[in-house]
Structure 1
């Protein structure tokens, strides 16, 4: 394909992705009043009545809007993010269909595997963040003590919730980077095993800085699954390195540098001479040659 053809294909695929995003955002905008808004407010509404604005024993709760366009912007923001999630299969397919003609077969296989695993890990992290959000809010808001009125605004609560979901989702994908570096031969199992304690320590430090709540409960809740995932990554690197060592040993060239020539035997091999009609084997020296009287 020419450059113009590539640009035309890119334009068409971007247009299809934007159209799918627009339709999914419209669906999410309608869905906001039919369950999506309740789903977002559920962790906040699950707090004790004294920790939420307008809280009652029957479960009533509400988020403050302090300006005229606040409600519109919040609904559009939530609808756009929900639409991006709903239309993810379409725009991810458009992206994959654009880049896949330039990939080899093994690169396609690795690309599909990493996309599936990374999406699953991000979803698991987001689900864990959503489940723990109510407990984290109760811990943080409860530190205000008596004599205070807690009234969260809708932008603050939704921004905090989205940042927590993204932080957990991204943190769950960090161990996948170690697996990718091991597969391409940059990071070995021995290096990971030797740095295991430092990896676990830096994981706890990472969780302390990344969590928006900055409380020990959320930090431990993020760090513990990350440590488990890093240990799985280390064991996977062990398996990959062992299989790579067995393959190199079978090829007999694993001790050579990349730019060194392979030790091939350049000496000529012996000729297999067919038996004559008399049952003897002719030698190569006895074969008549042209120019020496033979035919």
Structure 2
């Protein structure tokens, strides 16, 4: 290699980026993997710190979970208790509570890490949709989880009421916690479904007319869901849970209608420009 070639090669290496990003701004596969590892590591640290906080409040969570058990014992006049079936079940349950609380508490941080990793690959309009989805979905999900927590005691009393009289309700602590967690998450996700309708509309997959056309089916599905999630005798709780879900459904239809009208006006303006 001549002296001139060595000088040219050295100058190219000096100009080459050291961050793994080519001059056009795109990242290589190796740089993507390094970035992903970094984001996952930070998210894991946040979850671990949240688990420490969850462990500290696990006593409060267990006491809150025992309230429906005490309520059914009082209302049904039977012996009811929360049981730990083996030696490590109490410790395992506390770990599960700590993990659940840790994921919830640290969710803003690890959601940001996911967003920061995906953001460079999104277009401007896609970023706007993603921001709008997160800002609307997270509060609705938390509101749905709160609603699920409020109807959970009614579910416990209802389902245990099918047991014969003069029997004892010995409820496994871990099974009971799994039931409560699934119920709360199910209602939380149900509150987020209208956001998916809006997202599909903005993506051009679903029109407002199609959403409104299915309003009877939607109300029937919401009524069946709330009837399952609340005792049949407690009609007020069923309506308190169904009313906000129906409002969210028609709210999603209204937003989709405004978006369809804006899209139609834009199409007419474009056709007018092309006709000139």
Q: TM-score with structure 2 length normalisation?
A: 0.79
Q: What is the RMSD computed on CA atoms of the aligned residues?
A: 2.6
- Other-structure match for 2:159: 140
Aligned-pair distance for 1:135?
2.1
* Unaligned 5+ runs, structure 2: 1-26
* Alignment partners' CA distance in 2, 1:87 and 1:52: 41
- Other-structure match for 1:37: 62
- Other-structure match for 2:208: 189
* Alignment partners' CA distance in 1, 2:240 and 2:73: 22
The partner residue of 1:232 within 244, 251, 260 is 251
- Other-structure match for 1:23: 49
The partner residue of 1:9 within 32, 35, 38 is 35
Aligned-pair distance for 1:26?
2.1
Count of residue correspondences: 247
Q: Tell me if structure 2 keeps the 8 A contact 1:51–1:150.
A: no
Q: Tell me if structure 2 keeps the 8 A contact 1:20–1:91.
A: yes
What aligned pairs does 1:1-295 form with structure 2 within 5 A after superposition? 1-33=27-59, 35-49=60-74, 51=76, 62-205=81-224, 215-216=231-232, 222-252=241-271
| Partner SS for 2:170 | coil
Aligned-pair distance for 1:104?
2.2
Quick one: structure 1 residues 147 and 43, their matched pair in 2 at CA, closer, same or farther if it must change by over 3 Å? Answer: closer
Q: TM-score with structure 1 length normalisation?
A: 0.74
* Alignment partners' CA distance in 2, 1:46 and 1:179: 40
* Alignment partners' CA distance in 2, 1:157 and 1:36: 13
* Alignment partners' CA distance in 2, 1:238 and 1:114: 17
Higher-RCO chain (CA-CA 8 Å, sequence separation at least 6): 2
Q: Tell me if structure 1 keeps the 8 A contact 2:83–2:170.
A: yes
Aligned-pair distance for 1:105?
2.4
* Alignment partners' CA distance in 2, 1:179 and 1:170: 15
* Alignment partners' CA distance in 2, 1:144 and 1:5: 59
Quick one: structure 1 residues 148 and 46, their matched pair in 2 at CA, closer, same or farther if it must change by over 3 Å? Answer: closer
Quick one: structure 1 residues 219 and 50, their matched pair in 2 at CA, closer, same or farther if it must change by over 3 Å? Answer: closer
Q: Tell me if structure 2 keeps the 8 A contact 1:52–1:151.
A: no
Quick one: structure 1 residues 167 and 226, their matched pair in 2 at CA, closer, same or farther if it must change by over 3 Å? Answer: same
More helix by share: 2
